[in-house]
Chains A and B, each alone.
Chain A
Amino acid sequence: MEFLKISKAQFQLSVGRMIDENFVYGVKAKSPSYEFDRLFTADELCLNYNITLLSPNKYFLPPRTPLMGFKLDGKISVDSMVGAQPGIIIGIHPYDLHALKLLDAVFLGNLKDAYYQARRQVIAIIGIDCLQPWQYSFAASMGTAFPPAGFDLWLTDTGDKYLIEVGSEKGEELCRKYLDASEAGEIEVKQREKLREESLSRYKLSLDISPQLIPEVLNSGWNSSMWEELGEKCFSCGSCTMVCPTCVCFDVRDTTELNRLSGERYRIWDSCMFDAFATIASGENFRPTGTDRLRHRLYRKGKYMLQRWGRLGCVGCGRCIHACLVDIASPVYAYNRLAREARTG
């Protein structure tokens, strides 16, 4: 592991150099929140943020992804639209990188998704520790407060400097090309440990059980009265899934030009919270009520994804808790309550 350090002023200059030569995406203020967006100048970058509206997974699984173009004049032909614009994302928080690992498991497992893979290969990741979590986060208790492997560079805000951990060859190259960083020593690395340790006490929400026990709690909680109690308030609006960094569902649709000679197939984010999500051609809906769908979503986050992909479907970012206007989307509330109900019978 290689550690470097750089003053914040120097880092800003480095970001400026990156912007000159690359598509750079970073965290910008969108009052009262923040968002990942294209950076045009280095001073737009806000690294001391608490959360972004959408997660950076939008760069790997865009809300709308063209899949192929087709031509219908005379001979039918198809053009694949696999491809990606190389870029650099600056400011990914640990929980969002954990979420990206789940997306990797889904899209780069046995069946490789060429569209996702193309983006994943050419977009570099510069992450940063989340030392001031927002009030909805429960990442500490989910074990996602610190980054997993898989970043190119990782920053820690140590006051007037950033400590940088180099995580890949691509990261090394970024350092060589853009960062005037100097070697960091044991003192700085120790300081990082301390800062990380301290950050754990700043989480307002926490899961009362070990995350490994969530599936068990769900197994015993299928018939809990909680589902109905929460579910009847649901709008089926999908806000909780749109903001979720681990949501991977999409619908595939076609468009055809007015001249009927050409068209496009694309995929677009879908949501299991939508009324029609589990409706099949015969008209039957396997999850006809808001209650069914709410329960499905929380089973998916706490059990099904783990079974299917080996990782929990919730990284504790808290975005869904905040996004839900009727306060029913919280995984930590639901799992804690089911755990309590399981204990007290």
Chain B
Amino acid sequence: MKPKVAVFDFTCCEGCELQILNCEEELADLLSALDFVEFREAMTEKADYYDIAFIDGACSRKSEMARLKDIRKRARMVIPIGACACMGGVNCLKNYYPMDEVLRSEYGEKAEYYETIPARHVSAVIPVDFFIPGCPIVKKDFIRVVQEILAGRIPYQYNDPVCAECKVAGNVCVFEKGMTCLGPITRGGCEATCITGGAVCWGCRGFIDKPNIIAEKLILEQAGLSVEEISKRFNLFNACKDRI
């Protein structure tokens, strides 16, 4: 029996779901290995039970909390995908403001018709079984996790900084070029793709379990960043302090 799989979207840009649909090369294999029973971006059917529920997006409304709990009840495995679902991601930037102000700035006069709560990641609401971080998720990483689950193994969770993969990729460290980077505290698994591509790491995969925040602040300071710049940098994807 093929595992029944659902993909749900919460507060997000839905880019991570799109990454699944973008797995062009593997799509045929994915479809023969998995039985997609619910996936709003791709189909209209719905189902009552799921072996794996992938959750895209953060939780930022009371109704979303209820919906998450309902999914949890009906799913054997719940796996958040993407920065929003795994860490709250960019959504948590709003948590620095009062919620009524947030509503007013977004919906203006119509604000009274909406409700919102400080954004949070999925595991702040329900227990999760694994997580696939990234903004957006890396296709290869998604396929890998599915392969592992299908083979009956607990997928390997990267928990080492991006720097290691950055070295293996043969990059010149951006600090040498006068730029700054969150690689030393950010969860690897992306093969340091941004640095290889000429940019820096913004921490989209979240921090590792034991990030050395003090040391990172030190090197950013030494590189000339102000306290505000440092906190902006830290908060872009990781403003929710209680990460998974």
Do A and B assemble together?
yes
Residues of A within 8 A of B (CB): 30-33, 35, 37, 53-54, 63, 233-239, 242-243, 253-260, 263, 269, 271, 274-276, 290, 323, 325-326
Q: Find the A residue at minimum CB distance from B185.
A: A235
Does B170 sit within 8 A of A, measured CB to CB?
Answer: yes
Tell me if B32 and A239 are in contact (CB < 8 A).
no
Between-chain CB contacts (< 8 Å), 30 pairs? A32-B172, A33-B172, A53-B167, A53-B170, A54-B167, A233-B212, A233-B214, A235-B211, A235-B212, A236-B210, A238-B161, A238-B164, A238-B167, A239-B164, A242-B164, A256-B147, A256-B148, A257-B147, A258-B26, A258-B32, A258-B33, A258-B143, A258-B146, A258-B150, A259-B29, A271-B160, A274-B164, A275-B160, A276-B160, A325-B173
Taking CB atoms, residues of chain B closer than 8 Å to A258 are: 26, 29-30, 32-33, 143, 146-147, 150
Residue of B nearest to A275 (CB): B210
CB B167 to nearest CB in A, in angstroms, measures: 4
B29 near A269: Cβ-Cβ < 8 Å: no
Q: What separation, in Å, do the CA atoms of A290 and B185 have in the docked complex? A: 13
Q: How far is the CA of A116 from the CA of B26 in the complex (A)?
A: 32
**CB-defined contacts of B166 to chain A, threshold 8 Å:** 239
Q: Are B212 and A256 in contact (CB under 8 A)?
A: no
13 new A-B contacts, CB < 8 A, other than A237-B183, A275-B159, are A32-B176, A35-B170, A235-B185, A235-B212, A235-B216, A236-B210, A236-B212, A237-B160, A237-B164, A237-B184, A256-B150, A274-B159, A275-B208
Lowest 3 CB-CB distances: which A-B pairs, in order? A242-B167, A237-B163, A238-B164
User: How distant is the Cα of A253 from the Cα of B172 in the complex, in angstroms?
Assistant: 28
Complex formed: what's the CA distance from A53 to B169 in Å? 10
Chain B residues with CB below 8 A from A276, complex form: 159-160
The residues of A that contact B114 with a CB separation of less than 8 Å are none
Tell me, rounded to whole Å, the shortest Cβ–Cβ distance linking B191 to chain A.
11
Bound Cα distance A239, B162 (Å): 10
Tell me the residues in window 140-187 of chain B with beta carbons closer than 8 Å to chain A beta carbons: 143-144, 146-148, 150-151, 153, 156, 159-161, 163-164, 166-168, 170-173, 175-177, 183-185
The docked-state distance in angstroms from the alpha carbon of A250 to that of B73 is: 40
Q: Is the CB of B164 within 8 A of A234?
A: no
Q: Which of A30, A37, A234, A271 sits near B215, CB closer than 8 Å?
A: A234
Residues of B within 8 A of A235 (CB): 161, 163, 184-185, 211-212, 215-216
For B85-113 the 0/1 string (1 means CB < 8 A from A) is 00000000000000000000000000000
A35 to B, closest residue via Cβ: B170
B contacts with A: majority SS: helix
Alpha-carbon distance A233/B219, docked complex (angstroms)? 10
Contact present for B172 and A242 (CB under 8 Å):
no
Q: Which residues of A contact B183 (CB under 8 A)?
A: 237
Assess whether A263 is in contact with B173, with CB atoms less than 8 Å apart: no
A51 to B212, CA, bound (A): 29
Instruction: Check B218 for interface membership: any CB of A closer than 8 A.
Output: yes
Given A238-B163, A271-B160, A274-B160, A325 and B175 contact (CB-CB distance below 8 Å): yes
- Distance in angstroms from B192 CB to nearest chain A CB is 11
* Best-buried of B26, B30, B219 by chain A (most CB within 10 Å): B219
B interface residue count range (under 10 / 10 to 19 / 20 to 34 / 35 or more): 35 or more
Residues of B participating in the A interface, judged by any CB pair closer than 8 Å? 26, 29-30, 32-33, 143-144, 146-148, 150-151, 153, 156, 159-161, 163-164, 166-168, 170-173, 175-177, 183-185, 208-212, 214-216, 218-219
Closest to A233 in B: B215
A260 to B172, CA, bound (A): 39
A238 to B, closest residue via Cβ? B164
In angstroms, how far is the closest chain B Cβ from the Cβ of A111? 25
- A271 CB contacts on chain B under 8 angstroms: 160, 164
Instruction: State in angstroms the CA–CA spacing of A122 and B148 once bound together.
Output: 35
Q: CA–CA, A271 to B163, complex, Å?
A: 12
Chain A residues in 8 Å Cβ range of B159: 274-276
Query: In chain A, what residue has the closest Cβ to B212?
Result: A235
Q: For the complex, give the distance between the alpha carbons of A235 and B29 in Å.
A: 39
A35 surroundings in chain B (CB, below 8 A): 170
Separation in Å of the A6 CB from the closest CB of chain B? 30
Q: How far, in Å, is B132 (CB) from chain A's closest CB?
A: 16
Residues of A within 8 A of B30 (CB): 258
A254-B147 Cα distance, complex, nearest whole Å? 10
**Which chain A residues border B146 with CB–CB below 8 Å?**
258
